[in-house]
Amino acid sequence: MAILKVNDLKVYFPIKAGIFNRTVDHVKAVDGVSFSIEQGKTYGLVGESGSGKTTTGRAVIGLESIYSGKVMFNGKDITNFGRKNSALRKDVQMIFQDPYSSLNPRKRILDIIAEPLRNFENLSMQEEKKRVQSLLEIVGLSPESILKYPHEFSGGQRQRIGIARAIAVRPKLIIADEPVSALDVSVQAQVLNFMQDIQKELNLTYLFISHDLGIVKHMCDDIAIMYKGRYVEQGTTADIFNNPQHIYTKRLVSAIPDINPRNREKQYHFRQEVQREYANSYNDYFDSEGLAYGLQPISDTHLVALPERG
């Protein structure tokens, strides 16, 4: 069953000007996005900076007001009711990008993780302490950490604390907005694998937001590629990577370096082919429908250097 259904979602931000601060135009941050996520699955939203990924996630959870469209969670219409709906506040949690700024530096770990518990469950101090300690154990930190402060932990550990806080009230859906992009590459894999482990254990559903197609490939069952508030393409992870249809997706996919040296030759040819198609069909793909409006070709710095042949 689909736990989350989003239908033709639009989120517009007003642009104001003049001495009367009148609305003169809108930024169409999200402009007609539809998707659904099955329980226990991971759905990836990928796109460049400014493509509307974060706004989509925030609108689902009720942190941005929706211009039009519909959001259904567990069969209930939650459009624009997000944060006022206490059941939803419990069932849908968010993990943020920056583990340095998303934890209050003046609070102890006990209070940080217990915060959602205090909103939704009536636990005694003893029960609360026990629950927080067991959450810390689940995320691989020692139970003694409850008395420490965020600055005493590394980035990866802080993100684990953020995850412990998110799972404290046993949510059904977690919106993970660039959960590892502020972390060292060596720590990223640890946190991602850990997110997959707890997903299985707790039957969690993820809406996973990232600009990194490589990470999304590792994490997601289905993927949507966003550009300027709209979908360019969506499909299963296998479809997107093995058979991308849109030239924009092809360019993104062809830019991911293949670590298997045996595939390098194939990738080299794929990239050449994509470059040719891109040059020949730019107008066909991008000159109509607003999607194309103002599109700049992806800069060449986005494409990694070709491996040496031979």
Ligand X SMILES: Nc1ncnc2c1ncn2[C@@H]1O[C@H](COP(=O)(O)OP(=O)(O)OP(=O)(O)O)[C@@H](O)[C@H]1O
Provide the 3-class DSSP secondary structure of residue 89: helix
Choice between 55 and 234, CB closer to ligand X: 55
Choice between 229 and 244, CB closer to ligand X: 229
The residue ranges that bind ligand X (CB under 6 A) are 13, 27, 29, 47, 49-55, 211
For the bound state, the minimum distance from the C-beta of residue 54 to ligand X, rounded and expressed in Å, comes to 3
Of residues 218, 198, 206, the one with CA closest to residue 175:
206
Choice between 25 and 77, CB closer to ligand X: 25
Cβ within 8 Å of residue 111, ≥6 positions away: none
Choice between 65 and 86, CB closer to ligand X: 65
For the bound state, the minimum distance from the C-beta of residue 149 to ligand X, rounded and expressed in Å, comes to 28
Choice between 29 and 103, CB closer to ligand X: 29
Of residues 218, 221, 245, the one with CA closest to residue 232:
245
DSSP bridge partners of 94: 175
For the bound state, the minimum distance from the C-beta of residue 15 to ligand X, rounded and expressed in Å, comes to 8
Length of the chain: 310
Q: Do 30 and 231 contact (CB within 8 A), yes or no?
A: no
For the bound state, the minimum distance from the C-beta of residue 226 to ligand X, rounded and expressed in Å, comes to 7
For the bound state, the minimum distance from the C-beta of residue 50 to ligand X, rounded and expressed in Å, comes to 4
For the bound state, the minimum distance from the C-beta of residue 216 to ligand X, rounded and expressed in Å, comes to 13
Number of other residues whose CB lies within 10 A of the CB of residue 255: 17
H-run or E-run covering 30: strand 22-38
Q: Which stretches does DSSP call E strand in the chain?
A: 2-17, 22-38, 42-47, 68-73, 76-77, 92-95, 173-177, 205-210, 222-227, 230-236
Choice between 67 and 120, CB closer to ligand X: 67
Provide the 3-class DSSP secondary structure of residue 134: helix
